[in-house]
Chain A
Amino acid sequence: MESCLAERLFSKETQSGLKVYVLPKKDYNKIFAMYSTNYGSIDSEFIVPGTGEHLKVPEGIAHFLEHKMFEMEYGNVFDKFSELGASPNAYTSYTNTTYLFSGTSHFRESLKLLLEFVESPYFTEESVEKEKGIITQELRMYEDEPEWQLLLNLLKCLYHKHPVRIDIGGTVESIQNIDVETLYKCYHTFYHPSNMILFVIGCIDPEEVFELVEKNEASKGLSPQAEIKRIYPEEPTTIHKVSHEVKLDVNEPLFLTGFKDADVGSDGKALLKKEITTELLLEIMFGRSSELFERLYEEGLIDDRFSFGYEGHKDYGFCTIGGETKDPEKLHGELLGCISSTIEKGIDIEDFQRVKKKYTGEFISGFNSLEFIATNFVSYHHKNINIFDYLKVLEEITMQDVTERLNSFFDFSRNATSLVIPK
């Protein structure tokens, strides 16, 4: 285990293939548990195990399914959690759906309840129709958020066909096509324990958790499931569109530019290394301590909402850089100019070392938060990455690594831009 973090992780895989992880933190008052499936909005096409049916499902169904999971035959499971004084929640991302709770008492009961409700699909026509109304309002809420639209449009520019270009929640139109039968098919395909992980952190004994999970499983008698066949469209490395602009009710233009990663196909440590390397590069060029940030900030071209990031998965990856600006074209030019000159001059070793230290510090301090550990453990796990490898991988990244990535990733032919401008 990571010595400077002083954490001890306990793990077990059950008969049905569920991976259970427990990280005891006895000095905390609470426990935080996440039950997550490797199924997200990008999994809109797959072969149903058993029947071999090739299914293409309505956009937004993974998210819809997440909402409906809370409904049980006896009512809403939120109520049961409330009675235990626990706070449940859930979220759907492009690649996984996660159900969680945090609580300071009744740990066993809350954990049992988490397993129970996620393992009990219950969908009726009436409740599906009712949920369409709620999710429509959720989608409308996001439609009113300019920054959400900004990113969505950038993804539509970067990707021709890959489902990452579709909003996680789908559209108001697409969710109308969701029905009970399809919900069950998606559930039975992706919610098998072999495709899932349970992560528990806080003041709890690992043996207690393993015992509870195994007892729960024994009462179910699940049959094993073959590997899930997911179907993704062929996506070229080229971008779809160079730019996209919309007019919304904003006071100042919002700008977001991105690069599409042509280097795809790896997960695990290779992906982790690539992710960290790319983030170090972005930090060196555009971070708060960079010469570019200071100059553009002083000039009033950007403000403190200026940010950047990299998102990497097995089959896709992209970075984003942007914020609010009164002159989007000028900002774009400055960013590309900075990349060109960094490629030409090379990276300053002092910047490289400083940024490595920053990321080390940020990661370690993140370990004060149970949510940070759980959320990142789970999302990394779905990419076959062990979060406890992070510090070592970060430490081992060399100047050569960042230089190679700098020269290969920032290809201007794979750059697209999204704009939101005032009406």
Chain B
Amino acid sequence: MNQGKLTMGFRTNTKYSDEDYYSLMVYNGILGGGSHSKLFQNVREKASLAYYAFSRLEKNKGLMIVSSGIDFDDRERAIEIINQQLEDIREGKISDYEFDSTIKCLVNSFKEAADNPAMIISLYLDGILNGVQRSTKEIIENLYKVTKTDVVNVAERICLDTVFFLNKK
């Protein structure tokens, strides 16, 4: 092994079928959903600890996974920086740039989904699995309604469950 793989698993306590699932999507985007996100900016760009640092939702299970590949010795430091980002969101420390970029990025991805047959199918499947069919139009409308307060509210329900670190022998 040449690189430590850090994975943190969280229980979001929010279901795909919940009305505030949209807020959770925005939360995830702000935390680690792209180059504008807190994880990318702080773990990778500022601290130079990683090439990848992101979060993603396991939407059908109500989970969120944070992942990053780092030097073995940077484990504690990386966890500290990651926890700081979670803390910052809970305290409402979300910049306009982080918030607006996340909304734009999410809206963009749903608009692009309509160009892609596999993604259209996937969206319908999620709807069937969770008992709630949402069109991309509906999703986009609801994303625009999410506020920073909504994001802080879902943040408060998110709990760390497991930290997994793949280490060298």
User: A30 near B115 (CB under 8 angstroms)?
Assistant: yes
List residues of chain B with CB within 8 A of the CB of A84.
104
Query: Which of A129-137, A212-220, A283-291, A389-397 faces chain B?
Result: A129-137
Q: 1/0 per residue B36-47: CB within 8 Å of A?
A: 100000001100
How far apart sit A144 and B167, CA to CA, in the bound complex (Å)?
12
Give the nearest-CB partner of B52 in chain A.
Answer: A141
Query: Which of A74-82, A159-167, A329-337 faces chain B?
Result: A74-82
User: B115 near A370 (CB under 8 angstroms)?
Assistant: yes
Known: A82-B101, A144-B2. A137 touches B107 (CB 8 A): no
Which bucket holds chain B's interface residue count? 20 to 34
Interface residues of A in 68-126 (CB under 8 A from B): 76, 78-79, 82-88, 102-105
Known: A133-B49, A138-B51, A141-B52. A104 touches B71 (CB 8 A): no
List residues of chain A with CB within 8 A of the CB of B70.
137
List residues of chain B with CB within 8 A of the CB of A143.
2-3
A140 at the interface (CB under 8 A from B): yes
How far apart sit A29 and B114, CA to CA, in the bound complex (Å)?
7
How far apart sit A394 and B2, CA to CA, in the bound complex (Å)?
43
How far apart sit A263 and B24, CA to CA, in the bound complex (Å)?
56
Distance in Å: Cβ of B4 to nearest Cβ of chain A: 9
Q: 1/0 per residue B120-144: CB within 8 Å of A?
A: 0000000000000000000000000
Interface residues of B in 48-80 (CB under 8 A from A): 48-52, 69-71
User: B48 near A28 (CB under 8 angstroms)?
Assistant: no
Give the nearest-CB partner of A141 in chain B.
Answer: B69
How far apart sit A140 and B97, CA to CA, in the bound complex (Å)?
32
How far apart sit A104 and B115, CA to CA, in the bound complex (Å)?
10
How far apart sit A348 and B105, CA to CA, in the bound complex (Å)?
51
A245 at the interface (CB under 8 A from B): no
User: B35 near A78 (CB under 8 angstroms)?
Assistant: yes
Known: A134-B50, A137-B70. A83 touches B2 (CB 8 A): no
Known: A29-B115, A84-B104. A140 touches B2 (CB 8 A): yes
B34 at the interface (CB under 8 A from A): yes
How far apart sit A88 and B117, CA to CA, in the bound complex (Å)?
22
How far apart sit A135 and B48, CA to CA, in the bound complex (Å)?
9
How far apart sit A278 and B35, CA to CA, in the bound complex (Å)?
40
How far apart sit A122 and B78, CA to CA, in the bound complex (Å)?
29
Give the nearest-CB partner of B114 in chain A.
Answer: A29
List residues of chain A with CB within 8 A of the CB of B93.
none
Known: A83-B97, A134-B51. A104 touches B108 (CB 8 A): yes
In this complex, the member of B2, B70, B71 whose beta carbon has the largest number of chain A beta carbons within 10 angstroms is B2
A252 at the interface (CB under 8 A from B): no
Known: A104-B111, A134-B50, A137-B70. A79 touches B97 (CB 8 A): yes
Per a CB cutoff under 8 Å, which of B48, B104, B111 touches A29?
B111
B161 at the interface (CB under 8 A from A): no
How far apart sit A61 and B108, CA to CA, in the bound complex (Å)?
33
Known: A76-B45, A78-B35, A137-B71. A83 touches B104 (CB 8 A): yes
Per a CB cutoff under 8 Å, which of A78, A79, A102, A137 touches B112?
A102
Q: 1/0 per residue A24-39: CB within 8 Å of B?
A: 0000111000000000
Distance in Å: Cβ of B40 to nearest Cβ of chain A: 8
How far apart sit A326 and B100, CA to CA, in the bound complex (Å)?
52
Per a CB cutoff under 8 Å, which of A87, A105, A144 touches B3?
A144
User: A103 near B35 (CB under 8 angstroms)?
Assistant: no
List residues of chain A with CB within 8 A of the CB of B35.
76, 78-79, 82, 88
How far apart sit A144 and B166, CA to CA, in the bound complex (Å)?
11
Distance in Å: Cβ of A154 to nearest Cβ of chain B: 20
List residues of chain B with CB within 8 A of the CB of A79.
35-36, 97, 101
Distance in Å: Cβ of B104 to nearest Cβ of chain A: 3
User: A104 near B112 (CB under 8 angstroms)?
Assistant: yes
User: A137 near B3 (CB under 8 angstroms)?
Assistant: yes
How far apart sit A140 and B5, CA to CA, in the bound complex (Å)?
11
A368 at the interface (CB under 8 A from B): yes
List residues of chain B with CB within 8 A of the CB of A401.
none
How far apart sit A370 and B44, CA to CA, in the bound complex (Å)?
30
In this complex, the member of A78, A88, A105 whose beta carbon has the largest number of chain B beta carbons within 10 angstroms is A78
In this complex, the member of A28, A76, A104, A370 whose beta carbon has the largest number of chain B beta carbons within 10 angstroms is A104
Known: A143-B2, A144-B2. A82 touches B112 (CB 8 A): no
Distance in Å: Cβ of A181 to nearest Cβ of chain B: 22
Q: 1/0 per residue A369-391: CB within 8 Å of B?
A: 11000000000000000000000
Contacts A29-B114, A104-B111, A133-B48 known; 20 new A-B pairs at CB < 8 A: A28-B115, A29-B111, A82-B36, A83-B100, A83-B101, A87-B108, A87-B109, A102-B108, A104-B108, A105-B111, A133-B49, A134-B50, A134-B51, A137-B50, A137-B69, A137-B71, A140-B2, A144-B2, A144-B3, A144-B69
